[in-house]
Chains A and B, each alone.
Chain A
Amino acid sequence: MKILNSYKWLASVTVVVLLAVMLSGCKREEFTETTTGDVNITEYLQQDPNQFSTLSKVLQITGSDNSLGGYGTYTLFAPTNEAFAKYLTESGKTSVDQLGVEELKDLVRFHLIRDTITTDKFTDGKLRTNTMYGQSILTGAQNINGVTTLTINRQATLVKGNIRAGNGIVHVIDRVLKPSRLTLAQAIEQNPNYSIFTQALKETGFYDSLNVLPVNAPDTNKRFQTVLAQSNAVFAAAGYSSYSALKSRFSKTGDPKSVIDSLHLFMAYHILPGLKYLPDIFNASSHVTLAPLDVITTKLVNQQILVNDDTFDGKYEPGALINRVASDNTTANGVLHDMAAHYAIKVRFPIPVYWEVTDQPEFKRLTGIYRVTNKSSPNYVTGDLQDIKWQTGSVSYRVAPEARQFYVYNNDYLFIAALRTAATANSFVEFKTPLLVKGRYKVWVCFIRRGGGKGVSVLFNGEPLSRVLNLTESLPAQVLVGNRWTYPAGTSPESLEALGKKIVFGGPSVPYYNNPAQTIEYYRDSYGLLAGTIDVQKTDRHNLRLQAVADGSGDVQIDMIHFIPENMDQLYPKFNPDGSVIQKPQ
């Protein structure tokens, strides 16, 4: 029995083994035992000594090979062996061993970015992340004999891009990149075409402040600056053939170093704080300068970058062109741009701005809708309009129908679906104003009385104005006198102004919509409310915000916003539905 049992046992074992062999015998499968076959940057370079032996050696000398062999997210611009050969010839050496370790460390840092940037993120300007050296790298493209290559920092061209290693991206380049070591002041001085500008920098004292390397900067927030330099030719074209001509025109106090001297201000107006490459310049509409209260405005028009190209007080003032090709020069402490034309601070006195709120670029392009009776735009969501922001919900552009007039300027208005404090509803609308010259202004919000906006606080650059507006109240009803609808008894334009209210339209011939034989000069449901007085500190476009402080359903319809210098007449001119403007009768 025991023997039998052991036979049986043996038999079943044999069968099981056979089974196992048969099942597994069909095919040998190979399994990958690592999660990825990608090598890291260091190994990638080592695997290709024909191209990268020098770079590998440099990494070894500087001790960077360990970090580039480990975990991380890097972008490395990898110069080839030929690139290093050229670099060594230029510096009169025969081997990288002869270069100092510190120099090599700087070199590696300038080729390394702690970010993964593929070539499709290369723009016309700097890369989004600075190198570990601190300076940023510029990208661009050049076309030689019909063949386009990508340029890196205007020093090298891209040989092969987007090589993915386990810990980042390698871009192969044909030259070693060299960080700029000159300061802004030195770079300007070095160029003889800037001799007038250089002398002006020295006389006004800016030369010294532009000659400070970032590491020595006393204030870490002011390490980098941007200069818009004017060449001698540009000065000559503007009528200043020498520094003395420039000085005699601008320097009123005789001491250019004085901060109130106009030459000092002129130079300050050409220096922007911070690192601003051309895309940074044209992507923002205005930039502060070192001139305390004056900004420059910038815009991109047909690929041309213009400074101070503005429409002001109804007049177009052509701007000064930036010489795009000669600009974007990186220096150790900032960026140097070249102006193709002269510009200076404009002396301006406060002028009233009667702002038609619907004067927005997006609305003007609405062919067939913009100022066409009884049309309206689609509903916009916040982000659709460049100069109007709001919290949530919709905003649209509307033109009043013929049969229902509100007596608003050009018959059109901005429709805001809600302006209330309820948690899920829209609670604010923020406008970018037109250019306001520094000075004190009264602000009038002109609107159509609707159900929404029971309590609206107006904030100018975040500062609340004195009055909270109620946009839901009607004025006393208009009365018919002869053929004219006019102010009711006990109400006059002056008495309304004393209450901070005014009628925005007027003049002798605004037809009453229900009966064109009659005219109207006062309407209870469309008027302006005084929000308060603002002090505009610098000439610029500013933020104006309507913030709900009370709840109540209904929409809000804004016609205009007036900024009128406080010592000027607040009631005239009048703005009519047909687009006419009526000046104060003499």
Chain B
Amino acid sequence: MSIDMNIKIKFYTVLLLLVTLSSTSCNKYLSLEPQDGIIRQNFWKTKEQLKAAVNGCYAGMLADPLVENLFLWGELRGDMLAAGVGVRNAELNVINVNISSTNTIADWSIIYKAINNCNTVLDFGPEVLKYDNTLTQATLNGYLGEAMALRGLLYFYLARSFGDVPLKLKSTSSDDDNLEIPKSTQQQVFDQIIADLKQAEQFVATSYGNRNDDKGRITRYTVNAILADVYLWLDKYDDCVKACDYIINSNQFTLVPGDNNWYSTVYFQGNSNESLFELQFNQNKLNPFYNMFINFKRFRAALKVAAEVYTQDFFDITNIDIRGNDASLKFNDGTIYKYQGINANSSRTAAASFAHWFVYRYPDVLLMKAEALNQQGNGQAALNAIEVIRTRANALPSSAMVVDPTDRNGVTDYLLAERAREFAFEGKRWYDLLRNARRNNYERLDLILNVVPTTAADEYQQAAIVKLRDKRSHYFPIFLYELQTNKALVQNPFYQ
């Protein structure tokens, strides 16, 4: 009996315990703070935390697939890339100008994630001033400027790729935030970009005292380079020249001499004298290129890159454009080599695939200025700049063009050809073509139309050309998932 009793008592105790526990599970008096993380109210207290948050913005730029997106958006619709054996369907559809809203290439979410990192710093960074007396206003401004410039750069990519995009300028930090934001026009986005960059220019430093930070963080020179690019896109040539001149006259940058060490200095080691801003992949965060080009062979260089872009000296095969064979690509099998090489003969292993992503290099500044000057009627200055770039790279006579300085379109063609050689596979080709094509109410639409016969599959070419005549097709559709989750978005007109 007593044993029986005992069991019963135990039974009821357990039952009672269960009832107590279960009845409390609905109530909210327990702490809501996570035990394995830090919450906003406890963060944003010291300048170290602020610095960590800004570093987080740069780390966010390395997150996959952000750089992969930048590469695909800049090169897929250009004429320098050819599909490899591992190419994906979505990529082929872009090459064939057969893009629909289900195409994953148009997924912009990683960009907005990076933008949100910047927004968070901009929203909560100023609070730190209240708690940390050692933080000066100038230091704070520097951090805010970096975040603004990064945000401006990211929106610049979005506006050039999609046209109109939602302009999200506040961080997403609580459930009450409205995530359903409609699109702003491309012009509004550009206005915001310029506002951000101009403010950032006031705020950020010209140097952080060491080379890796100077090339890996936003400096005033970087801001001016982005500004020059934006102004060039908006046909504001005076402003573009002014921004370029700021960088040129600083005498902080030179072209790395085109000797035997050039490739290894600029591309393998990175952060060279001619670099303005590079995304710093490292041993802990590898770039996506080994997988893209070597492992899965998704892309290789288009056939014309060796034969027509860099050309070859048939009388002296040792006389080469240093940017061509064994630098941008391997001539024998078309492998894209820019991110793989240590030098001409040895290449990186999968585990060492952390070549940087080159956002702006000094030659870009020189050629952007040249493009602006050419549009202003100073073709000779543009040709001179091209010559500087060509001399450094030992460009071959067979790739030279004889252009009359007054022939604005001819100089444009030469500039584009030189940019193709200088920035091969650096994610710039499509934007270069589009920027020049759309100038003066699409005066040079031919630049874009000429791409398709060299890239699209035979049976898609006719339709592709007709589609590209519609300038709305030059921008990507909004990815279907975004449309489903954000009811305020309207699909871009070409894809409706």
A residues touching B (Cβ–Cβ < 8 Å)? 12, 15, 18-19, 22-23, 25-26, 118-120, 122-125, 139-143, 146-148, 150, 160-162, 279, 282-283, 300, 302-303, 324, 365-369, 372, 375, 377-378
Query: What is the minimal beta-carbon distance from B380 to any residue of chain A, in angstroms?
Result: 32
| Residues from chain A with Cβ under 8 Å of B18 in the complex | 19
Q: Could you tell me the distance between the alpha carbons of A141 and B22 in the complex, rounded to whole angstroms? A: 65
Minimum-distance CB pairs A-B, first 5? A148-B470, A141-B466, A378-B333, A279-B459, A141-B463
New A-B pairs, 9, CB < 8 Å, besides A279-B458, A367-B307:
A12-B15, A15-B15, A19-B22, A26-B26, A119-B100, A143-B466, A160-B496, A283-B458, A368-B331
**Structural contact, A368 and B306, CB atoms closer than 8 A:** yes
Q: Jot down 8 A-B pairs with beta carbons below 8 A, ordered by A.
A: A26-B25, A120-B99, A140-B462, A148-B466, A148-B469, A148-B472, A160-B496, A162-B102
Query: What is the minimal beta-carbon distance from B16 to any residue of chain A, in angstroms?
Result: 8
| Residues from chain A with Cβ under 8 Å of B93 in the complex | 120
Q: Could you tell me the distance between the alpha carbons of A118 and B480 in the complex, rounded to whole angstroms? A: 15
**Structural contact, B19 and A148, CB atoms closer than 8 A:** no
| Residues from chain A with Cβ under 8 Å of B2 in the complex | none
Q: Output the nearest chain A residue to B97 by Cβ-Cβ distance.
A: A141
Given that A147-B470, A148-B467, A148-B473 are known contacts, is A369 also in contact with B332, CB under 8 Å in the complex?
yes
**Structural contact, B458 and A300, CB atoms closer than 8 A:** yes
**Structural contact, A146 and B471, CB atoms closer than 8 A:** yes
B residues touching A (Cβ–Cβ < 8 Å)? 15, 18-19, 22-23, 25-26, 93, 98-100, 102-103, 303, 306-307, 312, 317, 325, 331-333, 453, 458-463, 466-467, 469-473, 494, 496
Q: Could you tell me the distance between the alpha carbons of A123 and B457 in the complex, rounded to whole angstroms? A: 10
Q: Output the nearest chain B residue to A324 by Cβ-Cβ distance.
A: B462
| Residues from chain B with Cβ under 8 Å of A147 in the complex | 470, 472
**Structural contact, A142 and B466, CB atoms closer than 8 A:** yes
**Structural contact, B462 and A378, CB atoms closer than 8 A:** no
Query: Which residue in B25, B331, B461 is a CB contact (below 8 Å) of A369?
Result: B331
Q: Could you tell me the distance between the alpha carbons of A18 and B100 in the complex, rounded to whole angstroms? A: 55
Q: Could you tell me the distance between the alpha carbons of A225 and B100 in the complex, rounded to whole angstroms? A: 35
**Structural contact, A368 and B22, CB atoms closer than 8 A:** no
Given that A19-B22, A372-B317, A377-B333 are known contacts, is A367 also in contact with B462, CB under 8 Å in the complex?
no
Q: Could you tell me the distance between the alpha carbons of A187 and B458 in the complex, rounded to whole angstroms? A: 28
| Residues from chain B with Cβ under 8 Å of A140 in the complex | 462-463, 466
Given that A368-B312, A372-B317 are known contacts, is A141 also in contact with B332, CB under 8 Å in the complex?
no
Query: What is the minimal beta-carbon distance from B330 to any residue of chain A, in angstroms?
Result: 9
Q: Could you tell me the distance between the alpha carbons of A282 and B457 in the complex, rounded to whole angstroms? A: 12
| Residues from chain B with Cβ under 8 Å of A279 in the complex | 458-459
**Structural contact, B331 and A366, CB atoms closer than 8 A:** yes
Q: Output the nearest chain B residue to A12 by Cβ-Cβ distance.
A: B15
| Residues from chain B with Cβ under 8 Å of A118 in the complex | 100
| Residues from chain A with Cβ under 8 Å of B331 in the complex | 366-369
**Structural contact, B458 and A141, CB atoms closer than 8 A:** no
**Structural contact, A148 and B22, CB atoms closer than 8 A:** no
Query: What is the minimal beta-carbon distance from A189 to any residue of chain B, in angstroms?
Result: 28
| Residues from chain A with Cβ under 8 Å of B312 in the complex | 367-368
Q: Could you tell me the distance between the alpha carbons of A303 and B450 in the complex, rounded to whole angstroms? A: 11
| Residues from chain B with Cβ under 8 Å of A300 in the complex | 458
Query: What is the minimal beta-carbon distance from B11 to any residue of chain A, in angstroms?
Result: 8
Q: Output the nearest chain B residue to A15 by Cβ-Cβ distance.
A: B15
Q: Could you tell me the distance between the alpha carbons of A569 and B52 in the complex, rounded to whole angstroms? A: 84
Q: Output the nearest chain A residue to B19 by Cβ-Cβ distance.
A: A19
Query: Which residue in B100, B102, B459, B473 is a CB contact (below 8 Å) of A124?
Result: B459
| Residues from chain A with Cβ under 8 Å of B472 in the complex | 147-148
| Residues from chain B with Cβ under 8 Å of A22 in the complex | 19, 22-23
Query: Which residue in A23, A119, A148, A365 is a CB contact (below 8 Å) of B303?
Result: A365
Query: What is the minimal beta-carbon distance from A321 to any residue of chain B, in angstroms?
Result: 15
| Residues from chain A with Cβ under 8 Å of B470 in the complex | 143, 146-148
**Structural contact, A143 and B469, CB atoms closer than 8 A:** yes
**Structural contact, A25 and B26, CB atoms closer than 8 A:** yes
Q: Could you tell me the distance between the alpha carbons of A147 and B331 in the complex, rounded to whole angstroms? A: 40
Q: Could you tell me the distance between the alpha carbons of A120 and B92 in the complex, rounded to whole angstroms? A: 10
Q: Output the nearest chain B residue to A375 by Cβ-Cβ distance.
A: B332
Query: What is the minimal beta-carbon distance from A178 to any residue of chain B, in angstroms?
Result: 22
Q: Output the nearest chain B residue to A378 by Cβ-Cβ distance.
A: B333
Q: Could you tell me the distance between the alpha carbons of A487 and B85 in the complex, rounded to whole angstroms? A: 49
Q: Output the nearest chain B residue to A23 by Cβ-Cβ distance.
A: B22
Query: What is the minimal beta-carbon distance from B459 to any residue of chain A, in angstroms?
Result: 4
| Residues from chain B with Cβ under 8 Å of A119 in the complex | 98, 100
| Residues from chain A with Cβ under 8 Å of B462 in the complex | 124, 140-141, 303, 324
Given that A26-B26, A148-B494, A367-B306 are known contacts, is A141 also in contact with B461, CB under 8 Å in the complex?
no
Query: What is the minimal beta-carbon distance from A368 to any residue of chain B, in angstroms?
Result: 5
| Residues from chain B with Cβ under 8 Å of A141 in the complex | 462-463, 466-467
**Structural contact, B100 and A15, CB atoms closer than 8 A:** no
**Structural contact, A377 and B332, CB atoms closer than 8 A:** yes
Q: Output the nearest chain A residue to B454 by Cβ-Cβ distance.
A: A302
| Residues from chain A with Cβ under 8 Å of B19 in the complex | 15, 18-19, 22
Q: Could you tell me the distance between the alpha carbons of A120 and B93 in the complex, rounded to whole angstroms? A: 7
| Residues from chain B with Cβ under 8 Å of A143 in the complex | 466-467, 469-470
Query: Which residue in A146, A160, A303, A377 is a CB contact (below 8 Å) of B461?
Result: A303
Query: What is the minimal beta-carbon distance from A151 to any residue of chain B, in angstroms?
Result: 9
Q: Output the nearest chain B residue to A20 by Cβ-Cβ distance.
A: B22
**Structural contact, B317 and A302, CB atoms closer than 8 A:** no
Query: What is the minimal beta-carbon distance from B80 to any residue of chain A, in angstroms?
Result: 15
Query: What is the minimal beta-carbon distance from B473 to any residue of chain A, in angstroms?
Result: 6
Query: What is the minimal beta-carbon distance from B353 to any residue of chain A, in angstroms?
Result: 20
Query: What is the minimal beta-carbon distance from A37 to any residue of chain B, in angstroms?
Result: 13
Q: Could you tell me the distance between the alpha carbons of A303 and B465 in the complex, rounded to whole angstroms? A: 11
Query: What is the minimal beta-carbon distance from B307 to any residue of chain A, in angstroms?
Result: 5
| Residues from chain A with Cβ under 8 Å of B23 in the complex | 22
| Residues from chain A with Cβ under 8 Å of B459 in the complex | 123-125, 279, 283
Query: Which residue in B22, B325, B463, B469 is a CB contact (below 8 Å) of A122?
Result: B463
Of A19, A300, A367, most buried by chain B (CB within 10 Å of CB) is A367
| Residues from chain B with Cβ under 8 Å of A139 in the complex | 463
Q: Could you tell me the distance between the alpha carbons of A23 and B26 in the complex, rounded to whole angstroms? A: 9
Q: Could you tell me the distance between the alpha carbons of A22 and B19 in the complex, rounded to whole angstroms? A: 8
Query: What is the minimal beta-carbon distance from A366 to any residue of chain B, in angstroms?
Result: 6
Query: What is the minimal beta-carbon distance from A68 to any residue of chain B, in angstroms?
Result: 23
Q: Output the nearest chain A residue to B333 by Cβ-Cβ distance.
A: A378
Q: Output the nearest chain B residue to A368 by Cβ-Cβ distance.
A: B331
| Residues from chain B with Cβ under 8 Å of A162 in the complex | 100, 102
Given that A124-B463, A148-B494 are known contacts, is A303 also in contact with B453, CB under 8 Å in the complex?
yes
Q: Could you tell me the distance between the alpha carbons of A148 and B466 in the complex, rounded to whole angstroms? A: 7
| Residues from chain B with Cβ under 8 Å of A12 in the complex | 15
Query: What is the minimal beta-carbon distance from B325 to any residue of chain A, in angstroms?
Result: 6
Given that A26-B25, A26-B26 are known contacts, is A282 also in contact with B332, CB under 8 Å in the complex?
no
| Residues from chain B with Cβ under 8 Å of A377 in the complex | 332-333
Q: Could you tell me the distance between the alpha carbons of A378 and B294 in the complex, rounded to whole angstroms? A: 14
Q: Output the nearest chain A residue to B98 by Cβ-Cβ distance.
A: A120
Q: Could you tell me the distance between the alpha carbons of A111 and B102 in the complex, rounded to whole angstroms? A: 24
Of B312, B453, B469, B472, most buried by chain A (CB within 10 Å of CB) is B469
**Structural contact, B469 and A368, CB atoms closer than 8 A:** no
| Residues from chain B with Cβ under 8 Å of A283 in the complex | 458-459
| Residues from chain A with Cβ under 8 Å of B333 in the complex | 377-378
| Residues from chain B with Cβ under 8 Å of A146 in the complex | 469-471
Q: Output the nearest chain B residue to A123 by Cβ-Cβ distance.
A: B459
Q: Could you tell me the distance between the alpha carbons of A378 and B22 in the complex, rounded to whole angstroms? A: 69
Query: What is the minimal beta-carbon distance from B446 to any residue of chain A, in angstroms?
Result: 14
Q: Could you tell me the distance between the alpha carbons of A22 and B489 in the complex, rounded to whole angstroms? A: 42
Query: What is the minimal beta-carbon distance from A190 to any residue of chain B, in angstroms?
Result: 26
Q: Could you tell me the distance between the alpha carbons of A139 and B464 in the complex, rounded to whole angstroms? A: 12
Q: Output the nearest chain A residue to B457 by Cβ-Cβ distance.
A: A123
Q: Output the nearest chain A residue to B494 by Cβ-Cβ distance.
A: A148
Q: Could you tell me the distance between the alpha carbons of A148 and B332 in the complex, rounded to whole angstroms? A: 40
Q: Output the nearest chain A residue to B24 by Cβ-Cβ distance.
A: A22
Query: What is the minimal beta-carbon distance from B260 to any residue of chain A, in angstroms?
Result: 18
| Residues from chain A with Cβ under 8 Å of B463 in the complex | 122-124, 139-141, 150
Given that A25-B26, A148-B473, A377-B332 are known contacts, is A368 also in contact with B466, CB under 8 Å in the complex?
no
